[in-house]
Chain A
C-alpha cells in the first residue's frame, strides 16, 4: 500500500519558475527521501532528510519536514526543462528499512 499522498498529482510550469511538491505520510519515520524518475525508468535519489531535521538544501533543491503534521515539501528553484520528470517521496518507517513511496507528482517544465 502507498504511504501517503503527494500533491499536486501533476504540475506544469515555465522554465525559470519554482516548483513546489508536497508529500504527506501516515506513520512514524526514521527519514524521508525524495526520488526523481524519468519516463518510467529507474529512480534517482535526490535528497534525504532525517526525522530530527526540519530543512535541508542540495543545489537547487530545498526540502522541509514537519513531523508534527507528517508532511514534507520539495522545492526546485529556477527550474529547467531537464527537471521534467515524476518526483516521489519515500519514507523509511521506524523499525523497517524498506521504503514506502507516495504516488508521485508529474512535473512538466515548459522551455
Chain B
C-alpha cells in the first residue's frame, strides 16, 4: 500500500503570492493533519481535518486555510506569502484522528521557499 503522498516536492514562490499544497492520505484513513516545520525546529500543528470537517487548528494566521475532499485528500492554502512561511510542510494521516493514540503517518513533505 502507498503511504502518505504530498505534492509538489519543492516549490519556490515570491512574497505576496499564494500557494496550494496537496496531500493524499493512506487508503482507509479519514483524518489528515498539517504541520509546518521551520529549519532547525520541530513540526508545529496547523490543522486537522476529519470527514471534511476541521477538528483542530493551531496558532496560525488566517492566511492559512485548508480543506478535505470526499476522497479524504486535502489541500493546504497559504495566501499573501511571507519570507517566514519558508518551511517544510508535512501532512499526516490517521485512521480517524478522534481516538487517543491513533498513530499519525507522515508524508515526505513539501519544501516551500519564499523569496
Residues of A with Cβ closer than 8 Å to B?
Answer: 1-2, 30-31, 33, 35, 40-45, 48, 50, 88, 90, 92, 96-104
Contacts and interface: CB of A to CB of B under 8 A. Distances in A.
Given A98-B45, A103-B42, A42 B102 contact: no
Contacts of A101: 35, 42-44
Contacts of B97: 97
Q: Is the interface of B mostly helix, strand, loop or mixed?
A: loop
A99 B106 CA distance: 12
B102 A97 contact: yes
A103 B98 CA distance: 25
Contacts of B92: 43
Given A30-B100, A97-B48, A101-B43, A42 B56 contact: no
Interface of B: 4, 33, 35, 39, 41-45, 48, 55-56, 58-59, 88, 90, 92, 97-98, 100-109, 111
A89 B32 CA distance: 20
B41 A50 contact: no
Nearest to B102: A97
Given A40-B111, A88-B42, A97-B102, 12 more contacts: A1-B44, A40-B39, A40-B88, A40-B109, A43-B90, A45-B104, A45-B106, A96-B56, A97-B55, A97-B98, A97-B100, A99-B33
A33 to B, nearest CB: 8
A45 B103 contact: yes
Most buried by A among B43, B55, B107: B43
Give 4 closest A-B pairs by Cβ, nearest first.
A101-B42, A98-B45, A43-B106, A30-B100
